[in-house]
């Protein structure tokens, strides 16, 4: 006969309001095999846990059921307490009478009956339960960081500085990301490149960091501590080992008029190029679509002038497979475009702003490039259409953000601050110019942020107009901006020379596809989901994968750097052990009965099922059976439900246990 202890929690009033906990404890005491039952106000508190420990010892209990909240909340707490009292932790289970009962019911009488039933089920399960030992898996102490913007750079440097190997993979030819594009940064107006480029160089020089630029993660397999990642290193057409970065190829390339994405298409580059002079690595890439050699087979000037002979037109993509123990995802963001969206897109463009057809209506990032000393205008604010210096500039905030009718309801968080910064940069460069800002409200939570915004308004003479813009159109060489000033209650019309839109921050293109490769979840805007909004902000629900920066949601630089360091700290914690303990709730195959149909392999979402050959002593193949890799198994039980010969079972959820639970009702 079992000796089970049942502990019923009040959860303050969360449970006891709609469940008669004393009655539940009393009823539990009458279940055969229950040796002890009681109720307590807060089981998770220290006295509560002590109550459990004491009862296990004094009553000589061989199983425990805690009737309280969800096991997601406190299973670990109580299993630890049971273990401390000398019980196998897997013989301690929770009956969820809060989320599954008291929170969703109003009738106390019926609630009490249901709670008693839930307790009864769990008692039966524990009765048939077995002692389990945690599984240990080795940890590969090397991290993969995806994305080489400030988030990825910071995470990579932190992990590498702690003495671990890091593989940093960046899609573009250079690391640096969006931060390298910025002119000056709020709230201190320090030059973005000046603080960014040293970190980029540190990455390149760090002995523990392997840098793959112009590369993409193709496949991720495995599990925490033991991932296998496949990286495609796209053909640069330039041999990194031979290239000295002298740049003569770029000066001689005859194709010179290709819009440079780094300058938002406003600067020009050659077909063999580095995106910007401070690029890391400083090895050029040939843009094959625009290269005369690749398009017509004639030219090859770059190869002729290259002293070390680094240009290699025949270079092919290289596939590299690497073993890593943890992954930091830092893929960043892109900016919303007001262009007409394809039919059926849930996100809409701005027809009232001309769908991006007015040349002097630009986005915030383009303004950054215009204001940047390394930008296409050498830091002069000149408008795209005719290269004139604009004397009236209208800035518009919340374009696409907080606009449910356009398909995006969230706040992009950085626009209020960078627009204030833009007005200052403009005022510093064009002394007789006037900046206007249309805004809904100024959101300035951050150290020194509100002071910065006030400075834009009070000292730098930006005119802030609280209201939205309904329409803009070209009139001669001006753009007429029609909006409202809701504080004064009048309609406003401004004839602007340049309009700058603070467009929404969106998840990177292909963010969803990468998430599917990684097996992590994302929201409807394709931002990656953290495991817990407050308490696990850098972890994914998938163990061993961490998030840094704007791929998780719009973020400014300080927040991004903090999150990147936090993700790095999580990786270091993981790497602090040689072996990793995992929950032993995994499937096991009974090889005697398994007929090798491998139906389980087809349904396994984790790819944990392998084929195993059974041979006799002479080495003759007897049969093929399924084998579940305990390191990979997620413990979902789908194989168990699928198996036609009932020869695979999940520890902790065996058929015997489940049947006993059903029979108890």
CB neighbour list of residue 514: distance below 8 Å, 6 or more residues apart: 146, 217, 329, 331
The pair of structure tokens assigned to 165 is: 């190997």
CB 473 → other proteins: shortest distance, Å? 4
Up-side HSE of residue 217: CA atoms within 13 Å toward CB? 32
DSSP character at residue 480: E
Distance of alpha carbon 219 from alpha carbon 221, whole angstroms: 7
CB 360 → other proteins: shortest distance, Å? 14
CB 351 → other proteins: shortest distance, Å? 3
345 three-class SS: coil
480 binds other proteins (CB under 8 A): yes
State how beta strands 545-547 and 326-329 pair. parallel
CB 135 → other proteins: shortest distance, Å? 54
CB 496 → other proteins: shortest distance, Å? 14
Up-side HSE of residue 436: CA atoms within 13 Å toward CB? 25
Q: Comparing C-alpha atoms, which of 234, 228, 212, 235 is closest to residue 146?
A: 212
The pair of structure tokens assigned to 616 is: 């006799």
Q: Which of 298, 475, 592, 617 is close enough to bind other proteins by CB under 8 A?
A: 475
Q: Which of 42, 103, 313, 355 is close enough to bind other proteins by CB under 8 A?
A: 355
CB 355 → other proteins: shortest distance, Å? 6
CB 495 → other proteins: shortest distance, Å? 12
Q: Which of 3, 80, 340, 601 is close enough to bind other proteins by CB under 8 A?
A: 340
Cβ nearer to other proteins, comparing 23 with 474:
474
The secondary structure element, H or E, covering residue 457 is helix 449-458
Q: Which of 80, 471, 517, 536 is close enough to bind other proteins by CB under 8 A?
A: 471
Q: Which of 273, 350, 367, 438 is close enough to bind other proteins by CB under 8 A?
A: 350
DSSP character at residue 355: G
Cβ nearer to other proteins, comparing 402 with 582:
402
Cβ nearer to other proteins, comparing 106 with 405:
405
Distance of alpha carbon 586 from alpha carbon 543, whole angstroms: 15
Taking CB under 8 A as the rule, which mask of x and - marks residues 403-432 in contact with other proteins?
A: --x---------------------------
User: Contact 518/511 with Cβ under 8 angstroms?
Assistant: no
CB neighbour list of residue 18: distance below 8 Å, 6 or more residues apart: 101, 102, 105, 106, 107, 108, 111
The secondary structure element, H or E, covering residue 611 is strand 609-615
Taking CB under 8 A as the rule, which mask of x and - marks residues 385-404 in contact with other proteins?
A: --------------------
- Residues 422-442: b if buried by 16+ CB within 10 A, e if exposed: bbbbbbeebeebbbbbbbbeb
Q: Which of 163, 351, 448, 510 is close enough to bind other proteins by CB under 8 A?
A: 351
474 binds other proteins (CB under 8 A): yes
Footprint of other proteins on 518-557 (CB under 8 A): none
354 binds other proteins (CB under 8 A): yes
Cβ nearer to other proteins, comparing 347 with 569:
347
Distance of alpha carbon 644 from alpha carbon 656, whole angstroms: 16
Cβ nearer to other proteins, comparing 278 with 348:
348
CB 475 → other proteins: shortest distance, Å? 6
DSSP character at residue 375: S
Q: Which of 352, 459, 523, 581 is close enough to bind other proteins by CB under 8 A?
A: 352
Q: Which of 309, 473, 509, 578 is close enough to bind other proteins by CB under 8 A?
A: 473
551 three-class SS: helix
Cβ nearer to other proteins, comparing 298 with 404:
404
Cβ nearer to other proteins, comparing 230 with 392:
392
484 binds other proteins (CB under 8 A): no
Q: Which of 348, 385, 392, 638 is close enough to bind other proteins by CB under 8 A?
A: 348
Contacts with other proteins: how many residues (CB under 8 A)? 13
User: Contact 35/61 with Cβ under 8 angstroms?
Assistant: yes
Q: Comparing C-alpha atoms, which of 84, 122, 102, 43 is closest to residue 658?
A: 122
Q: Residue numbers of the site for other proteins (CB under 8 A)?
A: 340, 348, 350-352, 354-355, 405, 471, 473-475, 480
């Amino acid at each position: 006969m079992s000796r089970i202890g049942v502990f019923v929690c009040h959860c303050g009033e969360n449970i006891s309001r709609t469940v008669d906990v004393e009655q539940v404890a009393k009823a539990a005491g009458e279940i055969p095999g229950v040796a002890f039952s009681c109720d307590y106000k807060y089981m998770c508190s220290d006295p509560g846990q002590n109550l459990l420990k004491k009862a296990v010892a004094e009553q000589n209990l061989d199983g425990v059921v805690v009737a309280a909240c969800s096991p997601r909340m406190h299973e670990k707490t109580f299993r630890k307490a049971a273990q401390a009292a000398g019980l196998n932790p897997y013989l301690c289970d929770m009956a969820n009478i809060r989320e599954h009962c008291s929170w969703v019911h109003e009738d106390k009488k019926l609630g009490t009956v249901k709670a008693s039933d839930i307790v009864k089920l769990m008692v039966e399960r524990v009765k048939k339960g077995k002692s389990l030992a945690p599984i240990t898996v080795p940890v590969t102490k090397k991290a993969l960081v995806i994305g080489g913007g400030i988030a990825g750079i910071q995470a990579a440097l932190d992990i590498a500085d702690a003495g671990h190997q890091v593989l940093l993979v960046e899609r573009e030819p250079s690391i640096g990301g969006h931060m390298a594009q910025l002119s000056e940064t709020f709230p201190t107006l320090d030059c973005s490149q000046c603080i960014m480029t040293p970190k980029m160089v540190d990455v390149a020089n760090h002995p523990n960091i392997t840098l793959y630029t112009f590369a993409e993660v193709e496949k991720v397999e495995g599990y925490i501590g033991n991932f296998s990642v496949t990286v495609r290193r796209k053909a640069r057409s330039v041999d990194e080992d031979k290239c000295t970065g002298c740049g003569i190829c770029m000066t001689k390339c005859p194709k010179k008029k290709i819009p440079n994405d780094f300058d938002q298409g406003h600067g020009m580059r050659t077909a063999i190029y580095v995106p910007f002079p401070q690029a890391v690595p400083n090895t050029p890439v040939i843009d094959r679509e625009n290269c005369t050699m690749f398009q017509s087979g004639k030219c090859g000037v770059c190869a002729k002038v290259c002293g070390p002979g680094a240009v290699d037109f025949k270079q092919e993509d290289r596939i590299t497979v690497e073993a890593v123990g943890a992954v930091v995802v830092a893929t960043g963001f892109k900016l919303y475009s007001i262009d007409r969206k394809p039919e059926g897109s849930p996100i809409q463009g701005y027809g009232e702003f001309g769908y991006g057809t007015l040349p002097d209506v630009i986005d915030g990032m383009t303004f950054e490039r215009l204001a940047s000393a390394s930008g296409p205008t050498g830091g002069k604010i000149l408008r795209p259409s005719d290269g004139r210096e604009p004397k009236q500039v209208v800035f518009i905030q919340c374009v696409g953000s907080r606009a449910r009718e356009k398909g995006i309801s969230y706040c992009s968080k950085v626009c209020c601050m960078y627009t204030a910064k833009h007005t200052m940069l403009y005022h510093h460069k064009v002394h007789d110019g006037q900046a206007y800002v249309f805004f809904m409200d100024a959101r300035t939570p951050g150290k020194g942020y509100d002071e910065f915004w006030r400075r834009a308004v009070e000292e730098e003479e930006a005119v802030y107009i609280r209201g939205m813009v309904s329409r803009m159109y070209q009139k001669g060489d001006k753009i007429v901006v029609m909006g409202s000033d809701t504080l004064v209650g009048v309609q406003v019309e401004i004839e602007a020379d340049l309009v700058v839109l603070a467009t929404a921050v969106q998840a990177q293109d292909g963010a969803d596809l990468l998430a599917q490769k990684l097996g992590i979840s994302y929201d409807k805007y394709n931002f990656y989901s953290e495991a817990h909004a407050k308490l696990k902000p850098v972890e994914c629900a998938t163990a061993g994968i961490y998030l840094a920066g704007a791929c998780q949601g719009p973020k400014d630089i300080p927040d991004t750097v903090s999150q990147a360091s936090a993700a790095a700290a999580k990786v270091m914690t993981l790497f602090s052990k040689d072996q990793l303990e995992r929950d032993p709730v995994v499937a096991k195959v009974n090889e005697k009965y398994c007929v090798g149909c491998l139906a389980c392999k087809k349904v396994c979402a984790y790819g944990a099922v392998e084929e195993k050959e059974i041979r006799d002593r002479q080495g003759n193949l007897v049969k093929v059976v399924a084998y579940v890799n305990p390191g990979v198994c997620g413990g979902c039980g789908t194989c168990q439900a699928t198996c036609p010969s009932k020869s695979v079972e999940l520890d902790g959820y065996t058929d015997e246990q489940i049947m006993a639970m059903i029979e108890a009702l």
